[in-house]
Chain A
Amino acid sequence: MRRDPLQIPTVVLLVLAMAAWWHGADFYVHEVLLSEIALFAMLAMSLDLLVGYAGMVSLGHAAFLGIGAYVTAGLTVFLGWPVALAMPASALVAGLAALVVGSFVVRLGGVFFIMITLAIGQMVYAYFLKAREFGADDGMSGIPRLDLSFLGLDTADPAVFSAVLLLAALAVYLLLRVVVRSPYGATLVAIHQNEGRVRALGCPVHRYKLGAYVLAAAIAGLAGSLTTQHSSFVSPDLAFWTVSGEVLIMVILGGGGSIVGAAIGACAFLVLKHWLSAGESWEALGLPTFMADHWQLVMGSLFVLVVLVAADGIYGRARRLLRRDGPQAG
């Protein structure tokens, strides 16, 4: 397989760092920061399968997050389904939605794919915005969390639930790692590099891309289910295109095509976001606190900076620094 000696140490380090952080954390860090990191890491890693491997830059990934969230909300609140059943249902429905949409969109490449996924994402957003049965723009609340009382765990405790989310992110990482290291994953990389060439080798390229699209959507759907459990609330905003945009930024920031890079991107983005948007951080630096209101300005500049000095993201750059054994691909 492609050599990536940095992968395992990075993952181990990341897991240890998260565990240590979780261990010493207060309510706020459990409830907000770690949970958000875990949820967005799942999204970013699944998007990396599309962006970094198959070369499908989607700007509508949040649509599947939204679908997954509404499926869990609807099934638990209206039909009284147990969350444990609603979660796989969320992944399934999101995957099916991707199967239908993907049958058309995977045929498109480049900017057309970006625009059509953006349009479809906004259609999903617009639907939930107007869907009275799902509370329209008010959304829905009262969504229960996964019941783990048989393990003696109370998921209402932010510490417990954030641990569940972090473990779910780890499971997603392991699943995607198996996928990208398989011949199927290598085929996606090959398709990214030259689609026509792969077709001439006898691969039904569209089906391979559709498979990636469906898998990424199912993971996003699962993340959506967990997101709505986490906040016990769901609103159309989850499917809004800016969420897709943020996830894409996380993938680019961390470095696409490695899975773990996307998780690093999610960590870096969210930690920075929380830090930059807090007045105390600026005060500590001796700068005026109103800077906190302009955190997006600072974040945007940092993003531009990272892309300029490391086009292949934080992880990609680190990997390149470490590897001195041969010429590089791109």
Chain B
Amino acid sequence: MSASEPMLRVTGLDAYYDESHVLQGVDLEVGRGELVALLGRNGAGKSTTLKAIMGIVPPRNGTIAVAGTDVCGQAPYRVARHGIGYVPEDRGMFASLTVEEHLAIVPRARHGEGDWTVDAIWQRFPRLRERRANRGNQLSGGEQQMLAIARALVRNPRLLVLDEPTEGLAPVVVREIAEVLADLKSHGLTVLLVEQNYPFATRLADRVYVLGKGRIRWHGTPAELERTPEVKHTWLGV
């Protein structure tokens, strides 16, 4: 592993759900300290890309390198140990565990960076501290999303991967999440963000990949994307 390697490099990633070829040679790269957004319509393969990276959907072909180490085909818990904090699409709450327990069950990453402790989490997310004794099913959607992010952070990841963190949340909560992500980025955390919320993602991201029908169709900066209406129209529908 060398410092010059990007935090994440995915090349030629193929994944299938049974017979349907969902990812067809996806290439993408996330540099250290970058916030990269992966955009696309429903069914474009965004979540599948993250699941393939995490090893939840086993990739058929391709390479996935985390800081230069190939993790392709490894079990999810091994992939996570390379220092990836994963925030799943449905927030992944455990109904009967308390907020505190959600944070306690997370094993520390072997290749972690950062110095998040549970106390640091309470500082950053005072709302979670207030609700520390509440169970997963007693939290609002926004609180659940915050907890999902906090849970990913407490293992001190060097790469944070989020799957549609704004889905189904009120605008005021979306703004809060944007603040959190901007804050994490300013502290040097590398982030890969999957989103459908175009303004949210383009405001935060350094670079954007546009995924359509299982392939990367375009990549560049948010400003460049803004100047490329045909990409926006064809692959994002905005």
Contact = CB atoms under 8 A, between A and B. Distances in A.
A1 B151 CA distance: 16
B223 interface: no
Interface string B83-98: 0001010001011111
Contacts of B155: 201-202
Given A204-B77, A330-B95, A186 B105 contact: yes
Interface stretch (A142-150, A190-198, A299-307): A190-198
Contact of B137 (A3, A186, A204, A327): A327
B138 A197 contact: no
B101 A183 contact: yes
A245 B97 CA distance: 29
A47 interface: no
A326 interface: yes
Given A193-B94, A204-B77, A1 B100 contact: yes
Interface centre among B81, B104, B105, B138, by most chain A C-beta atoms within 10 angstroms, is B105
Contact of A201 (B86, B101, B135, B138): B86
A196 B56 contact: yes
Contacts of A183: 101, 104-105
B135 A329 contact: yes
A193 B96 CA distance: 9
B39 interface: no
Interface residues of B, number: 29
Interface string B104-143: 1111010000000000000000000000011101100000
Nearest to B80: A202
Report the contact-size class of chain A (Cβ under 8 Å from the partner).
20 to 34
A202 B77 contact: yes
B101 A194 contact: no
Contacts of A202: 76-77, 80-81, 106-107, 109, 155
A235 interface: no
B1 interface: no
A189 B56 contact: no
A250 B101 CA distance: 28
Contacts of A130: none
Contacts of A190: 94, 97, 101, 105
Nearest to B137: A329
A3 B133 contact: yes
A187 interface: yes
A193 B88 contact: no
A200 interface: yes
B169 interface: no
A329 B75 CA distance: 30
Interface in B189-235: none
Nearest to B90: A197
Nearest to A187: B105
A203 B100 contact: no
A200 B54 contact: yes
A199 interface: yes
Interface string B163-190: 0000000000000000000000000000
Interface string A56-72: 00000000000000000
Contacts of B56: 196, 199-200
Nearest to A326: B138
Contact of A198 (B101, B105, B109): B105
A211 B80 CA distance: 21
Given A186-B104, A186-B105, A200 B86 contact: yes
B170 to A, nearest CB: 21
A198 B105 CA distance: 9
Interface centre among A194, A196, A201, A326, by most chain B C-beta atoms within 10 angstroms, is A201
A8 B54 CA distance: 42
Contacts of B80: 200-202
B148 to A, nearest CB: 10
A246 to B, nearest CB: 27
Interface of A: 1-3, 183, 186-187, 189-190, 193-194, 196-205, 326-327, 329-330
Given A193-B95, A201-B80, A204-B75, 19 more contacts: A2-B96, A2-B97, A183-B101, A189-B94, A190-B101, A193-B97, A194-B94, A197-B88, A197-B92, A199-B77, A200-B88, A201-B107, A202-B76, A202-B77, A202-B80, A204-B77, A205-B77, A327-B138, A329-B135
22 contacts: A1-B101, A3-B133, A183-B101, A186-B101, A186-B104, A189-B94, A189-B96, A189-B101, A190-B94, A190-B97, A193-B94, A194-B92, A198-B105, A199-B56, A199-B76, A200-B76, A200-B86, A201-B92, A201-B151, A202-B109, A204-B75, A327-B138
